[in-house]
Structures are given as structure tokens and as C-alpha cells.
Structure 1
Amino acid sequence: MSKLMELRTVQSNAFRTLVEVLKDVLNDINITFDESGMRIMAMDGSHVALIHMKLFSEKFEYYHCKQKFNTGICMASLFKLMKTVGNNDTLNMYIDENCMDELCIKVENEPKNSSTLFKLKLLDIDLEELNIPDVEINCIVTMPSNDFQRMCRDMANIADTVIIQSDDEGLRFKCDGDFASQETLIGEANHGLVFNKKQGESELIEGKFALKYINLFTKSTNLCNTIELYLKPDYPLILKYNVANLGEIRFCLAPKID
């Protein structure tokens, strides 16, 4: 049986985590497959967040794609199948040329000599072209992903929004709720926050963002040890995670306007 697309990876845990994160933000989406890999570019239903994911073909144990095509997938349905995948499983996904309305997902466990085949019904979704202009980012920061997740989760107990500032002293996070406020300053450290690119000394970068969305994005923490934050005045906050060694995912969150 000739396959339009086929991939295989031992990074099953990362793949499962990726799908779990995506299903909390996106519903029915198109995934683009071509010879370079698989890609998602989609906005959430409220048009507040944009997700851009790219997994590179050369990072898979095996990857084959005959031609570029888009396939519609319900992320919640995909996760119901993916959550059965174990850390020691090998994940195979393919689409047969004579059955293009199904995504076949084969989960294999060599030590147990077992395999399970799922067939997920695909959707016909109108393709929404999203063009993102190239812009110069003023400030790029790398920090431990678990530190960022913990801080944003704690702040969500106080307020709905966080103000993120980059200034001479470092990166500042502030929130103000009905019963309390919090301000956390994180400076550069050898095993902590690092400025990959910093704005001019007199320039203050500031933006207010919804913690609900940030805390959905930080479910990606298990994918990698560090997160990159891209900051620019009056511009969406961009959070970048590596998807194990398969590729990367970027979450773009529009600022809150008072």
C-alpha cells in the first residue's frame, strides 16, 4: 500500500505532550506536511493567540512525504488516542494514498512485543492563510522553563493578567489582584535568566498579558529545560519551546489593552 506520508519517532512522550498542549488552545486545525516536515500555523477561536509549530523531517527516525498537503484534525480526538502512548513506545503515523480520509497511528512497544493501530477520521477544514510580517525583536530572553511556569501559575492565584517589563535590572513580572499584588524581578544568572538580545539602556519594554493563556502555553514545560521570551513594545508576547529534539513551537499572545 503506497503511503502519501509516513513518519516514525521514539520521542513519543514529547509528541503526546505537544498534542496535549495544542488541544487546550486549538480545536479543529490543518496540519501541513511536506518534504521538510510537519507544520501548524493557527489561531485560537478568540483570535488572541497564534501558534506556530514546525517539526523537521531530518529529526525523525523515519520521515517520508510524497507531496505537500494539508490535513484537518480534531486535536481533542487526536489526544484521546495519544494519551495511551507510553514513554517507551515508538510512534508511527501515516496516511495511505487510497484512504486519505484517515490518519493511521501505530504504537509499538518492542520489549513487550506489542502494537496498536488507531485510525483517526480526518476533517475537511478551509485553509486559513496567516501571513506574519518579519519584525525586529528588541529583546530576547532565555530562562528555565520550570521557573517561568511556576511564577505564572502562582501569579494566576492573585490576578488575571501579568505585566512583563524588561529594564536595566532584568526581567520584571508584576500583577495586581483584589486581595494582593506581586512583583518579581529576575536578573541574569549563570544557570538562570540570560539576555540573548537586550534593548537600549534607556528603553523600557512593557506589556500586559492574560495569565490564562500563558498558563496553557506553559504546559509545554516538559518539552525542554528552557524557554525563550521575545519582547517588543506594543507587540504580542512570543514564547518559544523546543519540542524535544524534533523541532520548535512558538506561542504568540496579543497584549491586553486597557
Structure 2
Amino acid sequence: MDPSHVALIDISWPNSAFEKYVCDEDVKFGVRIDEFAKLIKRSDKKDNIEISITEDKLLLVTIGKNKKYKMRLIESSATDTPLPKITYNAKVVVTSTEFDKILGDIQVVSEYLSITASASKAEFSGRGDSGEAVITLEKGMPEMPEIEVKEDSTATYSLDYLNSIVKAVGAVAGTVVCEYSTKMPLRLEFKVANVGRIHFYLAPRVES
């Protein structure tokens, strides 16, 4: 979860997705994402990356054949963040390419994206000082292969957060599954290369 408690990411990666995976018992640990990301960025595309925990409770990151880094772990209690338990009334599946375009189109006029879904269509809109924009996807369009709506739903979310996650993982996922309810958190699901999945939760913007 980010420091402002607006966004939360949950990643599930099966052991079959790794070239080598050894874990004799359940292990729970935490790392500082910004520091961990800096280490991973020191790798080349051809490098193997090995992650292990040392006997003195440090994270050992081995990159390629000649780079080794050690990181201090965060107390596991600091990482105990429960996942939101929400009943979603709307599910909209959009191709990742189209979703990225929608975010760019709305960002021209607004800092926030509003999603309105009904049984037959989904509308993505934004409004700002310079004007407003609306993108409509009708049921059956190839850009939106699936839409399921139990109850007409509308909610608004930060484009900064949405752009960050879509730029990071959208390219490796064929579709983006958007699930939400009126004025409730949004859950985006990305299935990566048919081996893992990422859930991204984002709190709604609540206007006073």
C-alpha cells in the first residue's frame, strides 16, 4: 500500500513461473519497494535474477554472474495489509491498448477518470477547467470484450495512479479487468503472460 493509503497492489506469481524455485516452508518478509526497484534496474535483459534470504535475515539479490546486493528487511507486521472485501456491481473488460488510450484522452482535460457502466455500455469521462471528454464503449465492441453490470455504477478515480500502473504492467497484459461499484474502490486485474496476475486497488475520489 502506498503511504497515503490510496492505492494497494496484490501480486500472485505461481512457482511454475520461475526458472528455479526452492521454498521449504512459508516465509513472510517485507522490502522497501523504492530500494528494491533500484537494485532490479541494475540488471540487463539477459541477466538472471536470484532472490534469497540469508541466515542473518537479509535479502540477497544476485544479478547475473557478478553482482550481489544485500538489503535489510522490513518487519513483517508493517506489511500486514488486508485486501479490500468489496462486492463489485460492475465488471468491464477492456483491451490494455484501448484502456491506455482512454487514460490519455481523458488526461487532456482532467486529472480524474469517471467510469459509468450500464448493461449495454461503459462511459469513461473527465472534466476540468478547459473542458470535458467522454469515451463510450458499446457492448459487443472488440475493444470491450466483456461487460457485466448488476447495478448501474459510477465512480471517479485519480488518473495519476491509473497511468502509473498501466504504464508499468499494461503492455504485458492483453486486457484490463475493471471491477467497481458506485463510490467504491476500483480493482484492476492484469493477467501477465498466462502465468501470474496483478490486482491493483484504488480508492475513489469522493467529492464533498
TM-score range, shorter chain: 0.7 to 0.9
What root-mean-square deviation, in Å, do the aligned CA atoms of Structure 1 and Structure 2 show?
Answer: 2.1
For residue 99 of structure 1, the aligned residue among 56, 70, 77 is 56
Measure, in 2, the Cα distance between the counterparts of 1:194 and 1:232. Answer: 20
The residue aligned with 2:130 is: 179
Is 2:87 the counterpart of 1:136? yes
The residue aligned with 2:22 is: 64
Q: Is the strand fraction higher in 1 or 2? A: 1
Is 2:89 the counterpart of 1:89? no
For residue 158 of structure 2, the aligned residue among 182, 186, 210 is 210
User: Residue 60 of structure 1 contacts residue 246 of structure 1 at CA under 8 Å; is this kept in 2?
Assistant: no
User: Residue 29 of structure 2 contacts residue 73 of structure 2 at CA under 8 Å; is this kept in 1?
Assistant: yes
Is 2:182 the counterpart of 1:233? yes
Is 2:70 the counterpart of 1:120? yes
Letter of the structure 2 residue corresponding to residue 119 of structure 1: Y
Residue 116 of structure 2 aligns to a residue whose secondary structure is strand
1:20-46 CA-partner distances (Å, limit 9, x unpaired): xxxxxxxxxxxxxxxxxxxxxxx2111
Unpaired segments of 5 or more residues in structure 1? Answer: 1-42, 109-114
Measure, in 2, the Cα distance between the counterparts of 1:77 and 1:132. Answer: 24
The residue aligned with 1:253 is: 202
Unpaired segments of 5 or more residues in structure 2? Answer: none
User: Residue 118 of structure 2 contacts residue 152 of structure 2 at CA under 8 Å; is this kept in 1?
Assistant: yes
1:61-110 CA-partner distances (Å, limit 9, x unpaired): 221112222223122222222113233332222223x2322x222233xx
- Calculate percent identity across the aligned residue pairs: 23
Measure, in 2, the Cα distance between the counterparts of 1:63 and 1:170. Answer: 44
Given the two structures, how large is their TM-score scaled by the length of structure 2? Answer: 0.87
User: Residue 81 of structure 1 contacts residue 118 of structure 1 at CA under 8 Å; is this kept in 2?
Assistant: no
User: Residue 95 of structure 2 contacts residue 174 of structure 2 at CA under 8 Å; is this kept in 1?
Assistant: yes
Letter of the structure 2 residue corresponding to residue 62 of structure 1: K
Letter of the structure 2 residue corresponding to residue 244 of structure 1: A
Residue 57 of structure 2 aligns to a residue whose secondary structure is strand
Number of residue pairs the alignment of both structures matches? 205
How far 1:210 sits from its partner (Å)? Answer: 1.2
The residue aligned with 1:74 is: 32
User: Residue 72 of structure 1 contacts residue 122 of structure 1 at CA under 8 Å; is this kept in 2?
Assistant: no
